[in-house]
Amino acid sequence: MKIKGGYEMKKRLVSVLLAAAVIAGTLAGCGSEPKQSSNADTNADAGNAEGASNAEDVDTAGEEEGKIINIYCWNNEFRERVELVYSEVKETSADGTVTTLNDGTEIHWIINPNQDGVYQQKLDEALLNQANAADDDKVDIFLSETDYVNKYTDAEADVAMPLTELGINPDTDLADQYSFTKVTASDMNGVQRGSTWQCCPGLLVYRRDIAKDVFGTDDPEEIGAKVKDWDTMKATAEELKAKGYYTFASYADTFRLYGNSIDAPWVAEGDTAIKVDQKIMNWVNDSKEWLDAGYFDPTVKGQWNADWNQAMGSASKVFAFLFPAWGIDFTLSPNWDGESGAWAVTNPPQEYNWGGSYVHACKGTDNPQHVKDIILAVTANKDNLLKISKEKTDFTNTQSSMREAAADDANFSSEFLGGQNPFKYFAPVAENIVIAPLSAYDQGCVELIQNTFGDYFQGNVDYDKAKANFETAIKERYPEISEVVWPD
Amino acid sequence: MRSKGKKVNYAKWGYIFIFPFFASFFIFSFIPLMDTIRYSFYEYYRSGIKEIGPNFIGIENYLNLLKSDMLKYAENTLILWIIGFIPQIVIALVLAEWFVDARLKIHGTQFFKVVIYLPNLIMASAFAMLFFTLFSTSGPINAILMSLGWIKAPIDFMGSILGTRALVGLMNFLMWFGNTTIMLMAAIMGISPDIFEASEIDGCNSVQRFFKITLPLIRPILAYTLINSIIGGLQMFDVPQILTNGQGNPDRTSMTLIMFLNSHLKSKNYGMAGALSVYLFIVSAVLCFVVYRMINNEDLNGAKTVAKKNGR
C-alpha cells in the first residue's frame, strides 16, 4: 500500500512526463516539417493569387511548357541574377522560394546548402528520380560549382543536356565567353553541357586602414608591388606582424592559389589512385611555416565558419583576403561591419581562379524554351552581363564587356572598395587563367586535405599522421579510391 | 458449445487490433532491416552519379571494417559516453534523493523537475550549434573568461582533444540528467515508506539510509538506466557531428561509430554501411539481452523481498 501523497506525486509525475513527451513531439515535428510544408504552402498561395490573374496569358501563349520550373541551387546568388536580368520576371515571394514570371510560370527555388555535400546529395536524389517524376517535379535547371561540375557534365552520366540540344550554339551564341569557362563546362568529348555568367579571377583584397598604418599608403599599385609574389609577400607579412597584424585569416585562404594551379588532375581519367600534386605539398609546408611564424590568425580554423566571418569585421587584425569577385560581393561585404570604402583590391601573389557556378539544363526538363531563355539571358547577353557586373560586382563572362568595364571607371567603381574600379585588376588575371585540370573527386580532395592538414598545422598530429588521416578520410568518402600517391 | 464459440470470437478482436502494428512494423522496420543485412554482403555504392553494384562479395565488407579504424571509433564513442554518463548518474541520484525526501521540504520541486527536463526538449543539433558558437575561440565564453581576467589568451576548446570530448560529454550530461532524475525519482518513490520509517526508528542516518536502503532497492532501475544509456551512447551522432562539422576533429578523436556510418552514406556505400550496422545491431542485441535478464531476475527478487517485508 502506498500513502496517498506518493500516489498523487506519481500521477503528477506521469502527467509532467506526458506533457513533456507531447511538447517534444511537437518540437521534433517543427524541426523537420516546415521545409516541405512551407514550400507547398507558399507555392499554393502564390499559385492561387497568380493563377487567377494570369490564366488568360497562359492560354494565349499556347505553349506546351510546364508551369513550374524547378531550379536546384545552394544559395540566392543565381536567383538574384535572374531577377536582375531576365526580363520575364514579375515578382518573387517574400521568402524567396518562388519567382513568378509574366506568363504565370513559376520558378521554384530548391535551395540546399553546399557544405558537407548536402546539395549534391539532394540533387543526385532528384536526378535519379528525374525519369519517374511528375512534370512539375522534374528538375529543369541545376547549378554546379567548378569543384564538382565534372561529375554532372560526364558524358556517360548524361544528366546535363548538351547546349546544342537546347538550341544554343556555343560557337556563335557563346563566342564572347572566356574560353576556359567553356572548356570546364564540357564533357570529355568536348560537348558543352553548361554555361556560366561569371568567371572567377581572384584578387587580393586588403584593408585600407591597416595598409596606411603599416605601409603609410593604401594605393593599390604600391600595395600590389608589396604582394607581387610569395617571397615579397613574406617580407610584407613580417612588416605586418611587427605592427600586430595578421596577413591572412587562415591557412585555407591561400589554398586556391596553390590548389587551382596543379599540373595534373587529382585523379586521372579511368584511374582509381589519387595523385597529390607537389603544389599541394608546397601549400602544406608554406602554411605550416606561415602559421608558426604568426602570419595567420591562429583562432581562425579553415573557412566558412563564424571565426572566419568575424575576421572580416572591423575589430579584426587581418590585413587581407584572397577573393574572386563573388567573394567580395557575397562573403566579405556582408561580414564587414564598418563603413564602406574601407577595402581595396590589388593583384594577388599568384594568378588564380576560384569557383564559378555553372548553369545546366537538366535532361528531361519540361520547360526547354524557358530554360534556354534563362541560360541565354543570364550567361550570354552582353548587356545583361554588364548589368550584373555593375550591380553585383561579379566579374562576368563576356570578354568584350569586361574590357569595357576595366576602362570605364565612372560606371564600374565600387563603393565598397572606396571608388576603386576592381575590373582593372580582374581583367588581366582572367585572360591569363589556365584552369586546373578537373576530376570528379576534386571537392572531396580539397575539403579533406584542408581539414586533415588543419590538425597538422595546429600541432595536434604530426605530418605522417595527417597524411594517414587524409587517406582514411578520402577512402571513406570515395570507396572506389584504391590508393593515395604522395609526391616524393 | 455456443458459449465456447463466443469466447473464440472475442480473441479475434485482439488480433485485429494489434494487426496494424505488426503490418507497419513488417513494412517499415523488418523489410529494411533484412535489406540492410542483405546489402552488407554486397559491393554497392555510387561513384559520382553512377551506381556500382550490387555485386555479391561475401563477408569482405566485414573484414574490411575490422581492418579499418572501426575499433578506434568504438573507443571514442565509449569515452564520449562515459564522460557524459558519470556526472549524469551521480547528479541524477543526488537530485532524485533530495526531491523525494519529504523532510528536506524543498519548495517548488515541480518547477525544478520541469526545468531540469527542459534541455532534453531542445533538438540535439540545435544544442550543439549553440555550444559551437558559445565555445568558439572568439565566442562569448572566451570573452567572459578574458574580461574576468581568468585567462590571458582565448582557449581553443574545439582544437584540443580534451576540450572537444569534454564539450560533447557536457552536452550529453545536460540533455539527459533531467530524464534520468525523473526516472530514478519514480524508482525511489516506489520503495515503501514503511522501510524508511523503520530504519529511522532504528537510528539510521541519511547517508546510511541512502547506501543501505535506497541504492540496493533501486538497483534494477539503475541497471536499466545504464544499459539504456549505453545503447543511446552507441548511437551518439548529432552532438559530435554538428560540433566538429562531421569530421570528428581533432585527429578523428571525436568520431563516433554512427558518424563513421554517416561518412559511408555520403557515397551511398550501402554495403559497407550495412556491415557496420550489423555490427552495431549485434552489440545492441547483446546489451538488450543483458538488461532483459537483469530486469526479469533481479526485479522479481527485489519485488519479492519488498513484498515479504510489507507482508507482515
pLDDT tens sequence across A85-102: 998 888 888 888 898 888
Distances (CA, A) of A52 to A48, A80, A92, A391: 6, 26, 17, 34
pLDDT band at B41 (very low <50, low <70, confident <90, very high): very high
Is A20–B266 a contact, with Cβ atoms under 8 angstroms apart?
Answer: no
The yes-or-no verdict on residue B311 having pLDDT over 70 is no
Number of residues in chain A: 488
Q: Tell me the chain B residues in contact with residue A72 when contact means C-beta distances shorter than 8 Å.
A: none
Q: List, as ranges, residues 271-310 from A with C-beta within 8 Å of B.
A: 298-301, 305-307, 310
All three cell numbers of A264: 595534373
pLDDT tens-digit readout, B66-104 = 988 889 999 999 999 999 999 999 999 999 988 888 777
Task: Tell me what the mean pLDDT of segment A148-155 comes to.
Answer: 86
A351, A427 Cβ separation under 8 angstroms = no
Count of C-beta atoms within a 10 Å radius of residue A279:
17
- Tell me which of A49-63, A166-180, A314-328, A351-365 is least confident: A49-63
All three cell numbers of B205: 542516518
- Tell me which of A27-41, A72-86, B32-46 is least confident: A27-41
pLDDT tens-digit readout, A230-265 = 999 999 999 999 999 999 999 999 999 998 888 888
All three cell numbers of A435: 584552369
pLDDT band at A17 (very low <50, low <70, confident <90, very high): low
Identify the pLDDT of residue B39: 92
* Torsion-angle region of A353 (φ positive above 0: left; ψ -120 to 50: alpha; else: beta): beta
pTM above 0.80? Answer: no
Q: How far is B285 from chain A (nearest CA, A)?
A: 26
Distances (CA, A) of A333 to A25, A224, A337: 40, 21, 8
B244, B158 Cβ separation under 8 angstroms = yes
- Tell me which of A450-459, B287-296, B299-308 is least confident: B299-308
Of A17, A154, A460, Cβ closest to residue B250: A460
pLDDT band at A37 (very low <50, low <70, confident <90, very high): very low
A20 touches chain B (CB under 8 A): yes
Handedness of CA A136, A140, A146, A148 (dihedral sign): positive
Identify the pLDDT of residue B106: 80
d(CA A185, CA A152): 9
All three cell numbers of A93: 515571394
SS (H, E, C) chain A: CCCHHHHHHHHHHHHHHHHHHHHHHHHHHHHHHHHHHHHHHHHHHHHHHHHHHHHHHHHHHCCCCCCEEEEEECCCHHHHHHHHHCCCEEEECCCCCEEEECCCCEEEEEECCCHHHHHHHHHHHHHHHCCCCCHHHCEEEEEEECCCHHHHHCCCCCCECCHHHHCCCHHHHCCCCCHHHHHHCECCCCCECCECCECCEEEEEEEHHHHHHHHCCCCHHHHHHHCCCHHHHHHHHHHHHHCCCECECCHHHHHHHHHCCCCCCCCCCCCCEEECCHHHHHHHHHHHHHHHHCCECCCCCCCCCHHHHHCCCCCCCECEEEEEHHHHHHHHHHHCCCCCCCEEEECCCCCCECCCEEEEEECCCCCHHHHHHHHHHHHCCHHHHHHHHHHHCCCECCHHHHHHHHHCHHHHCECCCCCECCHHHHHHHHHCCCCCCCCCCHHHHHHHHHHHHHHHHCCCCCHHHHHHHHHHHHHHHCCCCCEEECCC
d(CA A159, CA A390): 33
Is B45–A469 a contact, with Cβ atoms under 8 angstroms apart?
Answer: no
Of A17, A20, A478, Cβ closest to residue B267: A478
Identify the pLDDT of residue A44: 39
Identify the pLDDT of residue A194: 92
A321, A327 Cβ separation under 8 angstroms = yes
Count of C-beta atoms within a 10 Å radius of residue B71:
11
Identify the pLDDT of residue A21: 54
Identify the pLDDT of residue A142: 94
- Percent of chain A having pLDDT more than 90? 32
Q: Which residue type sits at A349? A: P
Is A10–B138 a contact, with Cβ atoms under 8 angstroms apart?
Answer: no
Q: List, as ranges, residues 97-126 from A with C-beta within 8 Å of B.
A: 116-117, 121, 124
Number of residues in chain B: 312
pLDDT band at B298 (very low <50, low <70, confident <90, very high): low
pLDDT band at A157 (very low <50, low <70, confident <90, very high): confident
pLDDT tens-digit readout, A439-471 = 888 888 988 899 899 889 988 889 999 999 999
Q: How far is B7 from chain A (nearest CA, A)?
A: 35
Cβ-based neighbours of A137, under 8 Å, separated by 6 or more: A70
- Percent of chain B having pLDDT more than 70? 92
Q: How many CA atoms lie within 13 A of B64 on its CB side?
A: 21
From A157, A104, A71, select the one nearest A365 (Cα to Cα).
Answer: A71
The yes-or-no verdict on residue A209 having pLDDT over 50 is yes
pLDDT band at A276 (very low <50, low <70, confident <90, very high): very high
Is A306–B68 a contact, with Cβ atoms under 8 angstroms apart?
Answer: no
Task: Tell me what the mean pLDDT of segment B146-165 comes to.
Answer: 88
Q: Choosing among A12, A32, A72, A116, which should be mutated to test the B contact, i.e. which has the most B CBs within 10 A?
A: A116
Handedness of CA A266, A268, A274, A280 (dihedral sign): negative
Identify the pLDDT of residue A407: 87
Identify the pLDDT of residue A224: 92
d(CA B223, CA B298): 10
Q: Which residue type sits at A201? A: P
Task: Tell me what the mean pLDDT of segment A367-372 comes to.
Answer: 91
All three cell numbers of A293: 611564424
Distances (CA, A) of B254 to A155, A453, B79: 40, 17, 9
Identify the pLDDT of residue A178: 86
pLDDT tens-digit readout, A378-415 = 998 888 988 888 887 788 888 888 888 888 888 888 88
Is B45–A480 a contact, with Cβ atoms under 8 angstroms apart?
Answer: yes
Instruction: Please state, rounded to an integer, the average pLDDT across all residues of chain A.
Output: 83
pLDDT band at A434 (very low <50, low <70, confident <90, very high): confident
Is B138–A301 a contact, with Cβ atoms under 8 angstroms apart?
Answer: no
d(CA B106, CA B110): 10
All three cell numbers of A177: 565567353
All three cell numbers of A359: 548553369
**ipTM attached to this prediction:** 0.78
Identify the pLDDT of residue A60: 36
Identify the pLDDT of residue A23: 52
pLDDT band at A278 (very low <50, low <70, confident <90, very high): very high
Cβ-based neighbours of A356, under 8 Å, separated by 6 or more: A145, A146, A181, A184, A196, A198, A199, A200
- Residue in chain B nearest A463 by alpha carbon: B251
Is B192–A2 a contact, with Cβ atoms under 8 angstroms apart?
Answer: yes
pLDDT band at A306 (very low <50, low <70, confident <90, very high): confident
pLDDT tens-digit readout, B110-124 = 888 889 899 888 888
Task: Tell me what the mean pLDDT of segment A112-117 comes to.
Answer: 81
Stated as kind and residue range, the H or E segment containing B45 is: strand B42-47
Identify the pLDDT of residue B276: 93
Identify the pLDDT of residue A433: 79
Instruction: Please state, rounded to an integer, the average pLDDT across all residues of chain B.
Output: 85
d(CA B216, CA B302): 9
d(CA B44, CA A5): 60
